[in-house]
Amino acid sequence: MYFASPEDAANAFCKALEGCDLETLMAVWGSGEDLVCIHPGGNCLIGHKAIYDSWQKILGQHETRRLKIDASTLMTWSSAFISVQTSLEVIYVGNDQTPRGPLLVTRVFMNGRSGWRLVSYQATKAGPSESYKILKETHSLH
């Protein structure tokens, strides 16, 4: 899989997450041990295998094999080689309309020979949602 932009990689990640598609989700990640993932309330996972194992456990818990993610961008910083995206996300499991979250999620993507890849993911429980300003603009890193 080749992702021509960080947005393409982010969209593929969210679509794979919503479909509980572990293989596609992990295809968005970079390779090797220079990867970091922190799930809400979880430990700092380093390396592809530890991250794979954690997502396998999370996605395996959902018998419906379907999630819905409502995401609002808070901020995006981008350059030719790195993109940092922070969003406010609410997750729904299967047909249950009970919201899970909200979560503050930050994803870091790097651009390399194989296109844009996720290298860092951190999610944490968000505070009161009225304190977040939803932005649609992208800021350039110099």
Residue 60 clears pLDDT 90, i.e. is over it:
no
Q: Is 18 in contact with 25 (CB distance < 8 Å)?
A: no
What is the reported pLDDT for 86? 94
Strand partners, 41: none
Q: How sure is the predictor about 91, in pLDDT bands with cuts at 50, 70 and 90?
A: confident
Q: What is the mean pLDDT of residues 80-96?
A: 90
Q: How many CA atoms lie within 13 A of 128 on its CB side?
A: 2
Q: Which domains does the chain carry?
A: 6-126 (3.10.450.50)
